[in-house]
């Protein structure tokens, strides 16, 4: 507990790492409680892995080698970093959309928490850190699989890992913000469609330069494109100054998502 | 700290859009008091409780809780409150004991201290044997007791209970009252809302009666009954009542101090119920059932608003 309860407004509005930790602690407790949770946990890992094997390796055998930005690589090596970025996204999103929404709307978990000293921003931070911790478990395993398959080197895999954490934070924060706007479970269908469209068109399975210019520009505006480009550059050892644009894009997602989510929590629950 | 009120409100107002839930109330609750809000659903009790609990911002008026300003020091105030909400919001994903230990952590208590208090409180609310079980299979009364235990985990200076026994069977209610009475004896300040008169009479040293967002009367249960009612009430039911209770009320004119015809019965307010009944018989009236009872807060509410409390 870092914050002391002193009657000075400046002190009491500070975010307390102890309270953020307490929010995380609740989720650790829930994780231990039932097998259903583990099923959700595992499904988030297998989906991108299956895509990598079927399309990266299977379709890759038909496609042959690929030349992107003057570098030649196998199709699987091109697809694998994208699947890694997708894995970082979906793992975290499962937590900050479905599970968050359940706690927010149905279990009234956050209502109970807000009666304590914990503040909305601390709930948002705790939920996000927890979600990224969970998501990083997927990406770490995925990176090991990539290294074993020879799709990246152990050194580059280590370099790519922090980028997947950044991707997780970005999508987690925005997913949480979107969840506060959901009216019911049917709205999640929209989210799924959006997520699937990003998955297909973010330079995941083919370089964005192969698309018509209008689509290329459109794709460059969407978030997963930046995640894929950043992670791919790290996995292939092709990092450059341009990568900073992707980092900046993801950083804005984190800040914006957290700000919006905690504001919505306040407006919905503190009335 | 000792002389200043734990809760101080002046002209407190809460509006939701066009709807005014709380319409300018004044309050003062002293340390160690058991204070109640009595009123029907929609009277503004819960809205007031949420403002006191620092989760809802007043639209206007002054509010000080534990001598602090909820708008700026909400975190520090909530650290010293225990809140038992109207609807149980226990965590279904956690065990009974974890519900307490997890909650304790929100107050910055260490893991060891959280565990110690959880065990102690489970003992206090008689749920030790359910510690490792899930929340869902618990009965309504058990869930309520667990929610109250959770509200005590930070050893609060002020405990807020929003309709603590609504929906519970009589046995569960009495066990809960007994536990709350113990808390009160320990000197914990209790603030509760209820629409049960017997609950307010059992637990509250002092209460306010709320209706339509306003306080319409305040005092101890006894003084309210003395002020707004008579010592006894005679309840008369007539075989052909229902539509004719108004006519019977006219025939009872002058018996006791006041006559109140309700749809199903006629109430005669009198300090001596038996004497009033004798007068009823002398007038040749033959009610099918007769009950002489002590006056309750229900009668106070009826006198104040012309309506019954729970409909």
Nearest CA in chain B to A6: B76
Residue (of A134, A139, A127) closest to A41 by Cα position = A134
Q: Choose the mutation target among B98, B99, B102 for the interface with A, i.e. most A CBs under 10 Å.
A: B102
Domain containing A229: what range?
A: 16-24+39-46+77-269
pLDDT at A138: 86
Min CA distance, B260 vs chain A (Å)?
Answer: 40
User: B45: which DSSP letter?
Assistant: H
Q: Considering the domain boundaries, does residue A191 fall inside one?
A: yes
User: Which of B64-78, B140-154, B174-188 is predicted least confidently?
Assistant: B174-188
Average pLDDT over residues B4-26: 95
Q: Choose the mutation target among A32, A117, A266 for the interface with B, i.e. most B CBs under 10 Å.
A: A117
pLDDT at B3: 65
Q: Choose the mutation target among A110, A112, A269, A270 for the interface with B, i.e. most B CBs under 10 Å.
A: A112
Q: Considering the domain boundaries, does residue A57 fall inside one?
A: no
Helix A243-269 to helix A223-235 angle (10° resolution) is 140
- Interchain proximity A29–B94, CB inside 8 Å: yes
Q: How many CA atoms lie within 13 A of A8 on its CB side?
A: 6
Nearest CB to B76; choose among A5, A26, A270: A5
The tokens of A173 are what? 């924060």
Q: Which chain A residues in 5-34 lie under 8 Å from chain B, judged by CB atoms?
A: 5-7, 9, 12-13, 16, 18-19, 21-23, 25-26, 29-30, 33-34
Q: ipTM for the complex?
A: 0.86
pLDDT at A13: 64
Secondary structure of residue B223 in the 3-state scheme: helix
Q: Considering the domain boundaries, does residue A64 fall inside one?
A: no
C-beta of residue B65 within 8 angstroms of C-beta of residue B54: yes
- Interchain proximity A111–B85, CB inside 8 Å: yes
Residues of chain A neighbouring B108 (CB-CB closer than 8 A)? 1, 16, 18-19, 22, 117
Structure-token match 């050194």, residue found? A155
Contact with chain B for residue A237, Cβ under 8 A: no
* φ and ψ at residue B230, rounded to 5 degrees: -105, 170
pLDDT at B311: 53
- Interchain proximity B102–A5, CB inside 8 Å: no
> Cα dihedral sign for A185, A189, A194, A195?
positive
pLDDT at A56: 85
Min CA distance, A224 vs chain B (Å)?
Answer: 32
C-beta of residue A132 within 8 angstroms of C-beta of residue A91: no
Min CA distance, A30 vs chain B (Å)?
Answer: 5
pLDDT at B1: 47
The alpha carbon of residue A96 and the mean position of all alpha carbons in its chain are separated, in whole angstroms, by 9
Q: Considering the domain boundaries, does residue A177 fall inside one?
A: yes
Average pLDDT over residues B97-108: 97
Q: What is the pLDDT of residues B18-39, one digit of tens each?
A: 999 999 999 999 999 999 999 8
Secondary structure of residue B229 in the 3-state scheme: coil
Q: Considering the domain boundaries, does residue A214 fall inside one?
A: yes
- Higher-confidence residue: B143 or B301? B143
Residues of chain A neighbouring B90 (CB-CB closer than 8 A)? 112
Please report, for residues B74, B185, B235, B252, B308, the alpha-carbon distance to residue B231 in angstroms, rounded to integers and kept in the order given.
44, 28, 13, 19, 19
Nearest CA in chain B to A25: B102
Q: Is the pLDDT of residue B197 over 60?
A: yes
pLDDT at B241: 64
Instruction: Specify which residues B158 forms β-bridges with.
Output: B81, B189
Nearest CB to B76; choose among A12, A107, A270: A12
Instruction: Specify which residues B267 forms β-bridges with.
Output: B235, B260
Domains held by chain A: number: 1
Calculate ∠ Cα A247-A249-A251, nearest 5°: 70
- Interchain proximity A112–B89, CB inside 8 Å: yes
Q: What is the pLDDT of residues B53-92, one digit of tens each?
A: 999 999 999 999 999 999 999 999 999 999 999 888 999 9
pLDDT in tens, chain A (271 residues): 344 333 344 444 689 999 999 999 999 988 877 666 666 667 667 878 888 888 888 888 898 888 887 888 999 999 999 999 999 999 899 899 999 999 999 889 999 999 999 999 999 999 999 999 989 988 999 999 999 999 999 999 999 999 999 999 999 999 999 999 999 889 999 999 999 999 999 999 999 988 999 999 999 999 999 999 999 999 998 888 989 999 999 999 999 999 999 999 999 998 8
Q: Considering the domain boundaries, does residue A29 fall inside one?
A: no
Q: Considering the domain boundaries, does residue A51 fall inside one?
A: no
Helices (H), A71-186: 75-94, 100-101, 109-114, 120-148, 154-179
């Amino acid at each position: 507990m870092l914050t002391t309860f002193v009657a000075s407004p400046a002190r009491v509005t500070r975010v307390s790492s102890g309270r953020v930790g307490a929010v995380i602690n609740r989720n650790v407790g829930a994780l231990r409680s039932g097998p259903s949770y583990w099923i959700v946990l595992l499904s988030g890992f297998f989906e991108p892995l299956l895509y990598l094997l079927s399309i990266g390796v299977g379709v890759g055998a038909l496609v042959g080698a690929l030349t992107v930005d003057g570098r030649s690589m196998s199709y699987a090596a091109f697809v694998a970093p994208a699947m890694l970025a997708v894995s970082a996204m979906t793992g975290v999103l499962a937590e900050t959309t479905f599970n968050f929404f359940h706690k927010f709307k149905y279990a009234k978990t956050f209502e109970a928490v807000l009666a304590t000293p914990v503040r909305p921003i601390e709930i948002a931070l705790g939920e996000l850190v927890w979600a990224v911790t969970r998501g990083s478990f997927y990406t770490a395993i995925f990176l090991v699989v990539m290294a074993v398959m020879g799709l990246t080197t152990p050194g580059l895999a280590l370099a790519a890992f922090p980028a997947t954490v950044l991707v997780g934070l970005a999508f987690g924060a925005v997913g949480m913000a979107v969840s506060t706007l959901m009216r019911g479970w049917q709205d999640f269908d929209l989210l799924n469609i959006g997520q699937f469209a990003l998955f297909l068109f973010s330079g995941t399975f083919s370089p964005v330069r192969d698309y018509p210019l209008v689509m290329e520009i459109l794709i460059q505006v969407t978030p997963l494109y930046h995640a894929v480009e950043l992670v791919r550059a790290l996995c292939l050892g092709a990092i450059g100054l341009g990568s900073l644009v992707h980092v900046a894009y993801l950083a804005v997602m984190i800040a914006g998502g957290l700000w919006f989510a905690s504001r919505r929590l306040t407006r919905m629950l503190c009335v | 700290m000792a002389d200043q009120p734990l809760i101080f409100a002046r002209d407190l107002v809460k509006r939701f859009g066009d709807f005014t839930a709380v319409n300018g109330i004044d309050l003062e609750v002293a340390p160690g008091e058991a204070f109640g809000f009595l009123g029907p659903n929609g009277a503004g009790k819960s809205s007031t409780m949420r403002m006191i609990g620092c989760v809802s911002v007043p639209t206007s008026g002054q509010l000080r809780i534990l001598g602090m300003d909820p708008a700026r020091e909400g975190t520090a105030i909530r650290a010293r409150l225990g809140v038992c909400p109207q609807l149980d919001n226990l965590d279904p994903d956690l065990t009974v004991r974890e519900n307490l230990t997890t909650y304790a952590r929100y107050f910055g208590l260490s893991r060891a201290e959280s565990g110690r208090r959880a065990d102690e409180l489970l003992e206090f609310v008689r749920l030790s044997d359910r510690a490792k079980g899930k929340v869902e299979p618990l009965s309504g009364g058990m869930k309520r007791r667990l929610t109250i235990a959770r509200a005590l985990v930070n050893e609060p200076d002020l405990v807020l209970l929003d309709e603590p026994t609504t929906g519970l069977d009589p046995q569960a209610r009495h066990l809960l009252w007994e536990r709350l009475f113990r808390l009160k004896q320990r000197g914990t300040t209790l603030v509760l809302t209820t629409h049960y008169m017997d609950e307010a009479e059992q637990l509250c040293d002092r209460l306010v009666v709320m209706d339509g967002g306003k306080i319409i009367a305040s005092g101890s249960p006894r003084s309210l009954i003395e002020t707004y009612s008579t010592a006894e009430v005679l309840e008369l039911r007539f075989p052909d009542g229902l539509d004719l209770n108004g006519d019977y009320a006219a025939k009872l004119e002058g018996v006791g101090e006041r006559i109140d015809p309700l749809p199903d019965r006629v109430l005669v307010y009198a300090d001596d119920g038996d004497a009033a009944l004798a007068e009823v018989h002398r007038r040749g009236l033959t009610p099918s059932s007769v009950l002489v009872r002590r006056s309750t807060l229900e009668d106070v509410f009826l006198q104040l608003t012309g309506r019954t409390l729970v409909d």
